[in-house]
Structure 1
Amino acid sequence: MGFEPQDFPVTTRHSRGVLSEKELIDYRNHRAEFIRWLIYLGKDPEMAEGYSRDTITNTAYRTDQFCRWAWEQEGGYTLTLTHEHADEYMKELLYTDDSATHKANTQKAIKRYYKWLAHEKNADEWESERSFSNSSSGGPREYLTIEERKKIREAALQYGSIPHYSSLSPEERTRWKAHLAQRFGKPKAEVTPDDWERANGWKFTSLVWTSLDAGLRPIEVERAKVSWVDVENGVLRIPKEDSAKNEGNWVVGLTDRTADGLQRWLDEREQYDRYDGREELWLTREGNPYQSHSLRRLLVKLCDEAGIPTENRKMSWYACRHSVGTAMTHERDLAATKAQLRHKSEQTTMQYDNVPVEHRQEALERMG
C-alpha cells in the first residue's frame, strides 16, 4: 500500500487544542492504531484489504470530530465511545443543514470505527438506528454529461495556453512575461521564449484526456508511470502493483486523439529537469504527484473555462470517472464498462445501469 499512519490526520488541530499532554499521547496512540488498521485491513480484514487514501483521510477527519463531540457530552476526554454515543450523534446530525452526502459519509466513517473496535478490541459492531442516503438516485453522485465531457476536453486543450511569442508586440510580451514569471516562480528578467512553449505544453491536456478515456481515479493519476503508456496500441497497461485496488493487470483503451496527446507529452516531458530519474507520468510544478485536492482544483478551473456551472454540484476528479461509466454503458454495455473502469465486482458496475426511461422505451419499440 505504501501508506503509514503519519501520512494521515492522526490528530487534528482541534483535538490537540482541547487535550492535555498525556491525553494527547494516549489519543494519538489510539488513533494511529485505528488508521493502521484502515490502511491494511479495514475494507476486508479476512482478505487483508485496506481502504484508499481518500477514504482513510475522510474517515480520520470525521471520526476525530465524533470523538470531540463525545468529549463535550461527557465533560472531558474518554475513549469509551458507546453505541449510544453514535446513535445520539446521528440524531443530532439529522437536524443539521449538512448535505445528505456529508451525513451518509459521516455515518460510514463511524461504522468503520466500530468495525475496528469489533475486530481488534472485542467490541460489538454498531448498527445505526437510521440510514442516510448519499444520492437521490442509484447512479453516481458526481457526473459529467456527454456534452460536458466534450467541453472539458476542449477546455483542456486551451488550459494555460498563451499567445505565440512571435505574434505579440513588445508591450504585450512585457505583460505576458510578468504573467509567466508569476506562473513559473522565476524573475521576470529570466523568462525566455522557451517558457512560452512550456506554457503551451501538453501536460494538462494529456492528463485530462487520459482521465476522460480511462476514468482514472485520483490515486491512479498519482501513481501513473511512463511505463503504463503504449501509444502504438492506444492503451494504458496498468500492472497489478500500481492498480488502485491491487486486483490484477489491466489494459485500458484510449482514443487516437488521447494517444497522440500522450505521445506529445512524453516527448515534451524529456525537456524538464524535474522528471530526470522519475517514473511518474505527471508532476506538479513543485515536483509532486497530483492528488485529489489538486485534481479537484484543476477540474473546477476547467469547468469555469468551459462554462459548466458547478454551483450546488459535488465536483471532484471522480466526475470524470463516473462520466466514463455512464457513457460507456449507454454506448456499449456493462461488460465494457466493467473492463474500462477496472471493476472487480459486477455490483460496482451496476450503478451505471441507469439508462433513461425514454431510451428504454425506444428499445422496446425496436424490439417489437
Structure 2
Amino acid sequence: MSGSEWDGSLISEDQLTQLNARQQDIYTEKLSRFAQYLSTKGKAPIKDIGYAEKVVKVRISRFHRMVKWSWDNNGTVTTEFSPEDGDAVNAALQTDSFRKMDGGRFAEGSKRKLNDVLRNWFEFKNIDWDPKYTFSDDNPENQPDPFLKKELKRIWEASLDYKTVPSYNNLTPDERDRTKAHIAQELGKPKDEVRPDDWDRLNKCWKIPSLIRTTRGHGWRPDLIKRMKVDWYDPETQTIYIPEGEAPKNDASWNATLSDEAASTLEKWLKQRDLRDKYDGRDEIWLNREGNPYESGTLNDLLDNLINEAGISSRGRNLVWYSFRHSIGTYVFKEYQELEMVAEQLRQKSRTSATNYIHPIPELKKEAAEIM
C-alpha cells in the first residue's frame, strides 16, 4: 500500500479546528506517515508486517483522540506528541480521568487497545517508551508487581518439580494408565506409544527450568523469548547474543551474560532439545506444548501454574511475566541506588524508563513505618 493512499481523509476537518492552516498541514502529514508505518510495519516491525486498512484507520482515530485529550490537558495545541504526553495519557487511563466521548469509563480491553496505539506511535518515532501502567482484557490489575526474593527462589524450585510424575515402578496399573495419558499430552505423542523411558524424559526435562532461570536473571520480555534462537547462545562465554533489531524496544545488539546456574540449565535443555522431533527444522530455543513460540498469554499461564505450585499468594498483587523485570529493577536499585544500573540490566535507553520498574518493597515499607 503506497503512502499516497493515506491523506487528510484519515481525519475529518471538524476534528482539526483547533489547529491553524499550517499546523493542519504538518499534523495530517505526520498522520499519513504514521498510517503508512502501521500498514507496512506496525504489527511486526522486525518482519515488516502491517495491519489491514480498516485497522489502520481505527488506530489513527484512537491516536487522534489521545492527541486531542493532550491538547486539552496541557492547554496547548501542538503538532508534537512526546513521551511525556504518552505518560500523561497512560496515567489518565489508569485513573479513569481520560474517558469516552459520552463521559463513560473505558473498559480494560479498550485501555489496552489505546496503550497499544501509543506503543505503535513511539515505535514509529523510534523512541524507547515503557508505559508505567499496562492493561489487559481480563485482568483488572494493571501495573505488574515485583516478586519478593524468597518468592523468586520458590518459583525456581517449582520449575524443577514442574509436571514431574511418580516413578514408573511405584504406580499401580490404574495410576500408570492415568499417568501415561498425562505424559502423552505433555510429549505430544499417542498414549499407546508412551514407554517407560518417557517417564524419565519428562521428569528430567530442562525446558521450563532453563526458561525461568534465564528470565529471572535478565527479565526477558515475552516478545524476546518468542524470537530467541539457538545460535544466539555461546557456551564458551556463557552469553546470549541479542542481534541488532531483534529485541523489542531496543535496536542495539548486546550480550546477556548468564550466571553459572542459568548457563548450566540452558545447556542441558539445548542438548535435550536436539532430540525432540518438535524442534526439527526450528531455530527457536523454546516452544510450547503445541509447538508454537511462547506468547505473553502462554507465559502468564505457565507462571500462574508455577506460582500455584510454589504456594505463593498474590495478596492483591499483579504477578505476571513482566514481574520478573520489575523484580530486577526493584532489587538492583535497592542494592546500588543507581538508575543507570537498572537501565543497563533491563536494557532501557533512559533513566526515566528505568524508574517504571522500581517499587517499594515490604522490607523498606517496614523500615519506613518503624522510622515514623
Normalised by the length of structure 1, the TM-score is: 0.63
Letter of the 2:37 counterpart: W
Q: Trace 1:159-170 onto structure 2 (pairs within 5 A).
A: 159-170=162-173
* Residue 323 of structure 2 is aligned to residue 319 of structure 1: yes
1:337 to 312, 337, 342: 342
Query: Which residue number corresponds to residue 353 of structure 2?
Result: 348
Query: Which residue number corresponds to residue 173 of structure 1?
Result: 176
2:295 to 291, 307, 311: 291
Question: For residues 111 and 242 of structure 1, what CA distance do their matches in structure 2 show?
Answer: 20
Query: Which residue number corresponds to residue 124 of structure 1?
Result: none
Query: Which residue number corresponds to residue 14 of structure 1?
Result: none
Q: CA deviation at 1:310?
A: 4.2
Q: CA deviation at 1:261?
A: 0.6
Q: CA deviation at 1:104?
A: 5.5
Kindly indicate whether the alpha-carbon contact (under 8 Å) linking 1:165 and 1:193 is maintained by their aligned counterparts in 2.
yes
Query: Which residue number corresponds to residue 190 of structure 1?
Result: 193
Q: CA deviation at 1:356?
A: 5.9
Query: Which residue number corresponds to residue 218 of structure 1?
Result: 222
Q: CA deviation at 1:275?
A: 1.6
Letter of the 2:180 counterpart: K
Q: 1:300-319 CA deviation, whole Å, 9 max, x = no partner?
A: 11111112234744343211
Per mean C-alpha deviation after superposition, the further-off stretch among 143-152 and 204-213 is: 143-152
Q: 1:119-178 CA deviation, whole Å, 9 max, x = no partner?
A: 9xxxxxxxxxxxx9849xxx9633222222111111111111112334434443223112
The secondary structure found in structure 1 opposite 2:241 is strand
Q: 1:43-92 CA deviation, whole Å, 9 max, x = no partner?
A: 9xxxxx96999xx99xx69x58x98xxxxxxxxxxx999959x9998156
Per mean C-alpha deviation after superposition, the further-off stretch among 208-217 and 249-258 is: 249-258
Kindly indicate whether the alpha-carbon contact (under 8 Å) linking 1:300 and 1:310 is maintained by their aligned counterparts in 2.
no
Query: Which residue number corresponds to residue 90 of structure 1?
Result: 99
Q: Trace 1:219-298 onto structure 2 (pairs within 5 A).
A: 219-298=223-302
Kindly indicate whether the alpha-carbon contact (under 8 Å) linking 2:145 and 2:318 is maintained by their aligned counterparts in 1.
yes
Letter of the 1:90 counterpart: R
Aligned sequence identity (%): 37
Kindly indicate whether the alpha-carbon contact (under 8 Å) linking 1:42 and 1:112 is maintained by their aligned counterparts in 2.
no
Kindly indicate whether the alpha-carbon contact (under 8 Å) linking 1:234 and 1:254 is maintained by their aligned counterparts in 2.
yes
Q: What residue ranges of structure 2 are gaps of 5+ in the alignment?
A: 1-32, 73-96, 126-130, 135-141
Q: CA deviation at 1:353?
A: 4.6
Question: For residues 195 and 361 of structure 1, what CA distance do their matches in structure 2 show?
Answer: 49
Considering only aligned residues, what root-mean-square deviation do their CA atoms show, in Å?
Answer: 4.6
Q: CA deviation at 1:288?
A: 1.5
Normalised by the length of structure 2, the TM-score is: 0.63
